[in-house]
Amino acid sequence: MYDVEWTERAYEDLCVKVKSEAVAQKLIDVSEQALDAPESDDGGQLGPLLWRRGLTPQCRAELDTADPLDGPTSTSENAWDFVLVYKRRGFARSGYQVIAVLTNGELAAGLDDLPDLDFPPQS
């Protein structure tokens, strides 16, 4: 297990971008359970930062084994529609710091192209 700290900006992103309380809670669960998962299609490194799609390993396994015909057909919001951007905390403090919550579209645009991403210095 590891410690997770959310920056003010990440918490604001969670409150503003995520409309469903259940989806917000799933993203919090991802931050507590999956930030140390190995690199995959659901997360990895992007420059000096790390990213993780809103899927816990258990949810990913369920999606991978689901019958495609029984898959989600709803256009409602899902946790996997969002990405947590985070970094490892400094040497004296283990764990991770979530610094932003992005939509898949924002991630696809690239962090360099996003306006006003003022990431706090690593502590």
**CA distances, 32 to each of 64, 82, 121 (Å):** 22, 15, 22
Cβ-based neighbour number of residue 2 at 10 Å: 13
- Strands 96-103 and 4-6: what pairing? parallel
Q: pLDDT digit string (tens) for 36-53?
A: 988 988 899 887 899 999
Q: What was the pLDDT predicted at 68?
A: 58
Evaluate if residue 93 carries a pLDDT over 90: no
Sorted by where each starts, the structural domains of the chain and their CATH numbers stand as: 4-59+78-112 (3.30.2310.20)
- In angstroms, the CA 74 to CA 95 distance is 35
pLDDT at 71: 54
